[in-house]
Structure 1
Amino acid sequence: MSVNKHTTSLDSYSNDGHLNISRQRIAILVNDMLNDFIYGDLKSDRASKIITQIRDLVSVARKKDVPVFYCNDEHVEDDPELKIWGPHAMKGTNGSKVIRELEPAQQDHVVPKRFYGSFDSTDLDALLKELYEGKGVNTLIIAGIHTHICIKHTAYGAFIRGYNIIILEDAVSAFTREDHESGLSYIKNNYGAQIKRSSEILNNLTN
């Protein structure tokens, strides 16, 4: 699904964390908020704590005509990840569906993936480039799980394609605090990502 009508902008962030007024073409990317990761065999108690922040973010984004992308694991039997984690989010199963609390709306974009990174062997980049009347998204606001795995790999994919990256520290999660914090640090230091709280983004979207 392609949408070309988006006109919402967001202040860009300077390296010192302060806001600079600059028009940005933004999209929200929600990564792997799936039944298997929240309630299934690979569930994390920490992951359930970011549901409210993501729900509020996508709700406001839709009202403001900001594109929302759900990038979801959808595995088949020979996928490399299964050797590490065992079967999870298998294509066609309930475990591969987005949790009920964050169910995608009709206008949202759903991108299935078979690897950690949301850009790897998917059409995510092409879809992002179609938006904003063909000018394309230039800033990604990323939420979901897991900070040190799929969020990290997705941030790398965004970085090498030239996107500005904003990671919401209270809307991403990992199995442990250490994994979460190390993931945030790596993404910030190596990909130039801005680390922000969801409330700051909500304030920008609503003002």
Structure 2
Amino acid sequence: MSEKKALLVIDYTNDFVAENGALNCGEPGRAIQPALLQHVHDFAANNDYVILPTDLHHLNDPYHPETKLFPPHNIEGTPGQELYDQLGVWYQEHQHEQNVWKYNKNRYSGFQNTDLDNFLRSRDIKDLYLTGVCTDICVLHTAIAAYNLNYRIHIYSDSVASFDQVGHEWALRHFKNSLGAEVL
């Protein structure tokens, strides 16, 4: 029996990716969709895990630090918080499968304040493949947390994007040089 692995599709939502999204990362975020979907299909077909850590906020939450940093985004119950375009369609078709798991997160890292680590450990998953947006924010913070929890990290460079090209390139180097990640 081969070791299970998990694909993390981080924050690929309308507000972060759609042209009219409240905090969209622009054309780079939309351009990765074909490659990202291919990875989703490949993992699902191999019966590996597809996990969708998805940002969720409450409008004008005075206690959340992002309220001061960014315009309102990924607000609970809004179309902006829904998965973007074809990923949303795929999720609607596969959401009840045992190897597909979507959950809301309230910080940059997919591990902070969530059950992700327990979920992965209980299934003996040690290899994480990261995709999504933004490379230098939520993908980066999730990778750092994964590193600190001793997961093997793999980054699909064709499936991460940011509104900040300099930050994107810096993060790709950081994944490799400081976290020991395999950048594919």
**Structures share a fold, TM > 0.5?**
yes
Corresponding residue number in structure 2 for 1:129: 121
Query: Aligned partners of 2:103 and 2:156: how far apart in 1?
Result: 20
Deviation at 1:25, TM superposition (A): 3.0
Shift in Å at residue 139 of structure 1? 0.4
Q: Secondary structure at the match of 2:172?
A: helix
Question: Which of 146, 149, 163 is the matching residue for 1:161?
Answer: 149
- Scaled by the length of structure 2, what TM-score is found? 0.89
> What is the distance in 2 between the residues matched to 1:126 and 1:96?
25
Instruction: Choose which of 60, 69, 80 in structure 1 pairs with 2:51.
Output: 69
Q: Is there any run of 5+ residues in structure 1 with no aligned partner, and where?
A: 1-6, 10-23, 197-207
Paired residue total:
171
For residue 176 of structure 1, what is the aligned residue in structure 2? Answer: 164
| 8 Å CA contact retained: 1:69, 1:109 | yes
Q: Report the AA paired with residue 113 of structure 1.
A: K
1:97 counterpart residue number: 82
Secondary structure in 2 matching 1:149 = helix
- 8 A Cα contact 2:13 2:80, kept in partner: yes
Corresponding residue number in structure 2 for 1:4: none
Out of 30, 34, 56, the residue aligned to residue 52 of structure 1 is 34
Unaligned segments of structure 2, at least 5 residues: none
Moved over 3 A (4+): none
- Kept in 1, the 8 Å contact 2:22–2:71? The answer is no
Structure 2: distance between partners of 1:48 and 1:145: 10
The structural deviation recorded for 1:186 is 1.4
Residue 146 of structure 1 deviates from its aligned partner by 0.6
Q: Could you say which residue in structure 2 is the equivalent of 1:187?
A: 175
Distance in 2, matches of 1:91 and 1:79, equals: 14
Partner of 1:41: 22
- Matched position secondary structure for 1:61: helix
Structure 1 length-normalised TM: 0.79
Identical residues among aligned pairs (%): 32
Equivalent in the alignment of 1:149: 137
| d(CA) in 1 for partners of 2:22, 2:72 | 9
Shift in Å, 1:118: 0.5
Matched to 1:168, the amino acid is: Y
Q: Conserved in 1, the CA contact under 8 Å of 2:22 and 2:80?
A: no
String of CA shifts for 1:22-68, please: whole Å, max 9, x gaps. Answer: xx431100000000011112121110011011111111211110110
Displacement of 1:179 in angstroms is 1.5
Quote the residue 1:82 is aligned against: 67
Given that residues 46 and 176 in structure 1 are in contact (C-alpha distance below 8 angstroms), is that contact kept between their aligned partners in structure 2?
no
* Aligned partners of 1:111 and 1:123 also within 8 Å: no
Letter in 1 for 2:110: S
RMSD: 1.2
